[in-house]
Structure 1
Amino acid sequence: MRGVLILAHGSRVEATKKTINEVVDMVRSKISDMPIQIAYMEFCEENIEHGIKTLVDKGVTEIKAVPYFLFEGIHIKEDIPNEIGEILKDYPNVKLEMGHTLGVDERLADILVDRIKG
């Protein structure tokens, strides 16, 4: 079974968790045929290990990890892949594919235009 792990940075500010949870709920409403789990890189109990375990416990064997990050900085290029590599040693039958950051996307520009005009 396929599942999705949405990766967020995490924050000590509780409101940020509420925001990403609302976004993930929107994603779940659009993709209802596979489990979707959020995982935070730091500052939250729902860390990457917890996210992977939760998906595996639901029977997921193929994970698409999609970062809710704008840029491909050190966390995306090194920190997260290294951490995932260590975690997956405990799950040899699970395959994980990293998705891309939000990056350059016309839809993000449209959101900025809405914010500017609004």
Structure 2
Amino acid sequence: MKAIILFGHGARDPRWREPFDRLATLWRAQHLGTPVEVAFLEMMQPSLEEAVASLAGSGATQVTVVPVFFGQGGHLRNDFPVLLDDCREKFPQIALSATPAVGEDLAVLQAIIDFSAKAL
């Protein structure tokens, strides 16, 4: 079974996670057969490891991690690969992969332009 993790930075303010929860809700409504979890690098739960464990417990065998970051900064270049490799070691039965940061996708950038244009 395939599954997805929406991976964000995390923040001290608990309201910061609300868009991630909305993304997960939208995913569930549009992709009924593919489980989704949110996970955070720091300051919030669940961690990447906890999200992978949850999906593994639900029978997932392939998990794609989608970094919901604007770009490939230090966290995604340095910290994230270590976390992903740790999860690969702890969950060898799961095929773990990751996409680039969502902010590097042209469609995402265009959505931001469209959003901005509506503000004029």
Q: Which letter does structure 1 place at the counterpart of 2:115? A: D
- Aligned partner of 1:43 in structure 2 is 43
CA, structure 1 residues 94+12, in 2 after alignment: closer, same or farther (shift >3 Å)?
Answer: same
- What corresponds to 1:53 in structure 2? 53
Moved >4 Å (runs of 4+): none
Give structure 2 stretches of 5+ with no counterpart. Answer: none
**In the aligned structure 2, how far is the partner of 1:114 from the partner of 1:93?**
41
Q: Which amino acid is the alignment partner of residue 58 of structure 2?
A: K
Structure 1 CA distance, aligned partners of 2:49 and 2:108? 31
Aligned to 1:62: 62
Matches of 1:4 and 1:113 in 2, distance apart?
26
**Per the alignment, in what secondary structure is the counterpart of residue 42 of structure 2?**
coil
Q: Which residue is 1:12 aligned to?
A: 12
- Please give the alpha-carbon distance, in whole angstroms, between the structure 2 residues aligned to 1:19 and 1:82: 25
CA apart distance, 1:89 = 1.2
Q: Residue 105 of structure 1 aligns with which residue?
A: 106
Q: CA deviation at 1:75?
A: 1.5
- TM-superposed CA distance for 1:111, in Å, is 3.3
Distance 1:107 1:42 in 2: 24
TM-score, length basis structure 2: 0.87
Aligned length: 118
Cα RMSD for the two superposed structures: 1.6
Cα distance in 1 for partners of 2:110, 2:66 equals 20
Helix, strand or coil: the match of 2:26?
Answer: helix
Unaligned segments of structure 1, at least 5 residues: none
Residues 104 and 2 of structure 1: CA distance in aligned 2, closer, same or farther (over 3 Å): closer
Look up the equivalent residue of 2:112 and give its one-letter code: I
Instruction: Look up the equivalent residue of 1:87 and give its one-letter code.
Output: C
* CA–CA separation in structure 1 for the residues paired with 2:22 and 2:70: 18
Name the % identity. 20
Query: Take 1:89 and 1:107, find their aligned partners in 2: how far apart are those partners?
Result: 32
What does residue 87 of structure 1 align with?
87
